[in-house]
Amino acid sequence: MSGRPNPSVLFVCLGNICRSPLAEAAFRLEAGRAGLAMSVDSAGTGDWHVGEPPDSRAIAVARAKGVDISGYRGRQVTAADFDRFDHVVALDHANLARLRALRPADSRAALSLLLDHVPGRAGEPVADPYYGADEGFETTWADVTEGARALVRRIAGTG
């Protein structure tokens, strides 16, 4: 979008304490590895965890991968985000539907599912690990990393 010095991406899940902060962290990591300056954030469609840090299991998985997300704080997505970000990326179909309903008619932000950017995985959601065992966070990290890597390549024009 014109007027912005760097491409910008917002990752969105339900509460902004599990999947979207992990996606934000994975994307920051992958963009850094690619040498790309990007503006990145995450948000939730719900307001239950506004101002709270990510789930402790998400913090632990990210830390094990060399990323500190303990300073992230939950926030709720707003209509203004569609003007602030070039890409608004949902982690599942329910949140994608909520984003479509919230999206202003004149928005030029690209709206997608994260795994749409991974060849052969279009339409797949990133599973919500919140109610499961700790291992689910490892699976989520693997999925968001694969999606982040593919999205970085797409934005960079190399994939």
What domains are defined for the chain? 8-156 (3.40.50.2300)
Radius of gyration from C-alpha coordinates of the chain: 14
Query: Helix (H, G, I), strand (E, B), or coil: what is residue 10?
Result: strand
Whole-prediction pTM: 0.94
- The model's pLDDT over 135-155, given as tens digits with 9 standing for 90+, comes to 999 999 999 999 999 999 999
Residue 20 scores a pLDDT above 70: yes
Instruction: Give the active site residues.
Output: 13, 19, 128
3, pLDDT greater than 50: no
Q: Which tens digits make up the pLDDT trace of 5-16?
A: 789 999 999 999
pLDDT of residue 1: 41
